Structure 1
Amino acid sequence: MVKAWYMDSETTDQRLEHHKNPPEFISLEDLFKKTGVEYFKLNVETYATDGVLDKLKKERGYTYEDEMACSKECLPNYEEKIKSFFTEHLHTDEEIRFILDGSGYFDVRDGADQWIRIAVGAGDMIVIPSGIYHRFTLDTNNYIRAKRFFIGEPVWLPYNRPADEMPARKEYIDKLQKGFVAAAC
């Protein structure tokens, strides 16, 4: 089961699990209210045949998918890539990840600009809204394998902070102030 908690602004060791002692955990409902991040639990063993993922893809309009693995063994320029993933950025499209194996952390900013760390593992699917500042890192297992989904052709561009004048950021801030509405699923 996914866990989410507030963390300090510490940036020196991206693989530390908890910075606050004890961590201030938040519920998935509060995570959504504070950030717009959506969470789905899927069965890694049956997702290809049980119809749950297919239903999500259809209802949300995901038309492109691929699979990626992140580890020292299978990711070219591993150290450079990990540093770039951990640089705070936003995207103009949702970032959708379904974890098939391994584990890692997505860090997202709430409306008060505080970091919330989301620990993901096999079976977890998260949807990070466009325009939210976020970052990703592996945990001490140094391995994750995930499916990535897109609406239409994939857009791979991260826009490093500050990117406050971008339309995607302004739209996100508007949703943050008005309150998020979960997509039908």
Structure 2
Amino acid sequence: MAVEAWYMDSSEEGQRKPHRRNPNEPVSLDKLKRLGVFYWKLNADIYETDPELERIRKEQGYSYMDIISIHKDTLPNYEEKLKMFFEEHLHLDDEIRYILDGQAYFDVRCEEERWIRIAMKKGDMITLPAGIYHRFTMDETNYTKAMRLFVGEPVWKAYNRPADDFDARQKYLASLQEPGEKAV
């Protein structure tokens, strides 16, 4: 089964809740792709020897990899880090995450400035393009183990919104335009 995504409601109630609109407004993989968000479903039970993961890493140039376990018992300053991860931000490089266990949410801004929540579960891998505004949070299970992948050396710098002057943001906005349209 593919990843599940939906437009979020405007409730300020706990960030770890699903925040589905009523009625639910699902978001398709095609819509995510148009936003530059790419998705793979892999077998996380064999991530250490998975030929499909190896193929993707080779094709995409993901040369660096590490694993992070996000849980109050394994991540120092857990609540502070979650607050930081949930600040709306962008990166100058793509963000690649592969969920090896547990679950979590990535929220991305669409071209209409609405939040789309992506529910990530074991075996889900996504790429968020450089320049897209996004944020991360746990769901109510409060546990995930994720592989972080990078092209070259890892860059951990996040730029909180507003960060519209960066080339990565301008290139991202231009990528959303239909040919012949002007970027706003």
Partner secondary structure for residue 80 of structure 2: helix
Q: Distance in 1 between matches of 2:157 and 2:12?
A: 22
Identity, in percent, stands at: 56
Q: Distance in 2 between matches of 1:41 and 1:161?
A: 30
Contact (CA 8 Å) 1:9, 1:115: kept in 2 or not? no
Please, which runs of 5 or more residues in structure 1 have no aligned partner? 180-185
Calculate the TM-score normalised by the size of structure 2. Answer: 0.93
Partner of 1:182: none
Partner secondary structure for residue 26 of structure 1: coil
Q: Distance in 1 between matches of 2:131 and 2:116?
A: 16
CA RMSD of aligned residues (A): 1.3
Partner secondary structure for residue 145 of structure 1: strand
Partner of 1:24: 25
1:1-185 equivalences under 5 Å are 1=1, 2-33=3-34, 35-178=35-178
Please, which runs of 5 or more residues in structure 2 have no aligned partner? 180-184
Runs of 4+ in structure 1 off by over 2 angstroms are 8-12, 46-50
1:4 aligned partner, one-letter code: A
Q: Distance in 2 between matches of 1:116 and 1:14?
A: 13
1:36 aligned partner, one-letter code: G
1:102 aligned partner, one-letter code: G
User: How many pairs align?
Assistant: 178
Calculate the TM-score normalised by the size of structure 1. Answer: 0.92
Tell me how far 1:124 sits from its aligned partner.
0.1
Q: Distance in 2 between matches of 1:159 and 1:152?
A: 20
Q: Distance in 1 between matches of 2:144 and 2:54?
A: 22
Partner secondary structure for residue 79 of structure 1: helix
Tell me how far 1:178 sits from its aligned partner.
3.9
